[in-house]
Amino acid sequence: MPENCLFCKIVRREIPAKIAAESEQALAFYDINPQAPVHILAIPKAHIENAMAVKSEHSGTLFEVLKLAQETARKEGIDKSGFRLIFNNGPDAGQAVSHLHMHVLGKRKLAWPPG
């Protein structure tokens, strides 16, 4: 894991975060700048820079990330009302941290198209 990666530091518990769920390969925590009443980030514990860096050997890890998104959606009570899952890739898409992360957003109406 890169020493200076913010999310790797959270995984290593060098930076505190409010943990929502965790598995052997993935971690979910509450975003410190929430864009919805529920805003959780689900990340692989292994450093993967972005969606373009995902390889076939990451399939199990990505499944774990999705499982944590499902688990936190149920825990937050948004599994029935609806929620959005988002991967931003690169600066033009708004990726602020170069570590693959899935946003879990819910508990409000989410407009389409996003913008």
103 is a catalytic site residue: no
pTM of the model: 0.94
pLDDT in tens, 49-104: 999 999 999 999 999 999 999 999 999 999 999 999 999 999 999 999 999 999 99
Does 83 fall in a domain? Answer: yes
How many independent structural domains does the chain possess?
1
Give the pLDDT confidence score for residue 39 in this predicted structure: 98
Q: The domain spanning residue 21 has which CATH number? A: 3.30.428.10
Q: Which domain holds residue 90?
A: 6-106
- In the set 39, 47, 58, 101, the catalytic residue is 101
State the Cα–Cα distance between residues 37 and 47, nearest whole angstrom: 27
